[in-house]
């Protein structure tokens, strides 16, 4: 068992309107930025205890399904980070 860092990103599925993104985009333009569409999501960096990279990844996906994301409206992606914080594996769904 080792402690590994996984990085989980949760965002609204395509097709869902993102009120926060909409307001942020407008504010950026008001500030003079040439900004178009904005989408907002959340990133979690989670320390997990797992036997292997694959196990950590599985756990992270399970965390999304059970708590961090709602499959009816959210997409999520998971990467296992090395200690230095660089990505080594990626999984999207």
Minimal distance, residue 42 CB to a second copy, in Å: 6
Minimal distance, residue 40 CB to another protein, in Å: 8
Residues 6+ apart with CB under 8 A from 20: 40
Residues of this chain that interact with a second copy (CB under 8 A) are 3, 9, 11, 21, 24-25, 27-28, 31, 33-50, 59, 62-63, 66-68
Q: Is 70 a binder of another protein (CB under 8 A)?
A: yes
User: How far, in Å, CA of 63 to CA of 66, rounded?
Assistant: 5
Structure tokens at 65: 């399904």
């Amino acid at each position: 068992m080792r402690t590994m860092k996984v990085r989980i990103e949760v965002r609204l599925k395509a097709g869902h309107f993102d009120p926060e993104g909409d307001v942020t985009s407008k504010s950026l333009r008001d500030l003079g930025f040439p900004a178009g569409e904005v989408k907002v999501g959340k990133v979690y960096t989670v320390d997990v205890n797992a036997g292997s990279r694959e196990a950590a990844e599985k756990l992270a996906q399970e965390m999304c399904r059970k708590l961090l994301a709602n499959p009816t409206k959210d997409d999520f992606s998971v990467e296992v980070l090395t200690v230095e914080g660089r990505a080594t594996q990626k999984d999207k769904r």
